[in-house]
A and B are shown apart, each in its own frame.
Chain A
Amino acid sequence: MSRTSRTMTRVEKNTPAAVAPRFSPVLVGVLAWWVPGAGHFLQGHFRKAVTFFVVLVAMFAIGLAFGGRLFPFQFADPLVFLIALAEWAIALPRVVAGLGGWGAGNVVAVTYEYGNTFLIVSGLLNALVLLDAVDRATGRKPR
């Protein structure tokens, strides 16, 4: 056994998620996209999963409460398209808010731009969380 593989084995044994079953990176990615923290939860990182879920859903809810807008996909306006893409990076809250009729956007509210910022950043942060979960599932990062 090479030194590298011995190190990897030791790292894997020492991580709390070492006993968790391995899941397909695609499954982990899709679940992490839909529910913030679900990818980490599947792999046994329960504390991280709860932290991501609470903080990211809270950020999304704060964005809506501040009067932020859920932008539709508009190919004619690249910036609006990118904003919509970022908001869709956190799927379940986006779908729930859309179905609930929230996120119309209160343009005259003092906090309108802050709300948009919270909505966009919650999606972008979930994209980073998703990539981290997939990296753990593929073995690029210690589980």
Chain B
Amino acid sequence: MTTHLGVMILFAACVSVVFGTLMRETPRDELRLATRIFVGLVGGAYVVGWIMYLAF
């Protein structure tokens, strides 16, 4: 779990659960928002990582 990817996934999971719970009222909506934030964080990091790898 101490790989960059593992730590990033752990961090994204924690942050997305808190924001999902904070910003929505029903469990279904909370889960949906948390999933979107998690995918956004991890996917965004992948995209930015590849851009930096290819460009620099």
Tell me the A residues contacting B by CB distance below 8 Å. Answer: 15, 47-48, 51-52, 55-56, 58-59, 62, 66, 110-111, 114, 117-118, 121, 125, 128-129, 132, 142
Contacts and interface: CB of A to CB of B under 8 A. Distances in A.
Given A117-B11, A118-B11, A128 B22 contact: yes
A75 B21 CA distance: 35
Contact of A51 (B11, B15, B17, B25): B17
Contact of A52 (B10, B11, B15, B21): B21
A88 B55 CA distance: 40
Contacts of A47: 27
A41 to B, nearest CB: 13
Contacts, number: 37
Interface of B: 2, 7, 10-11, 14-15, 17-18, 21-22, 25, 27
Nearest to B4: A114
Contacts of A110: 2
Contacts of A114: 7, 11
Nearest to A125: B18
Nearest to B7: A114
Secondary structure of the A side of the interface? helix
Nearest to B34: A51
A28 B2 CA distance: 37
B35 to A, nearest CB: 15
Nearest to B18: A125
Nearest to A47: B27
B7 A52 contact: no
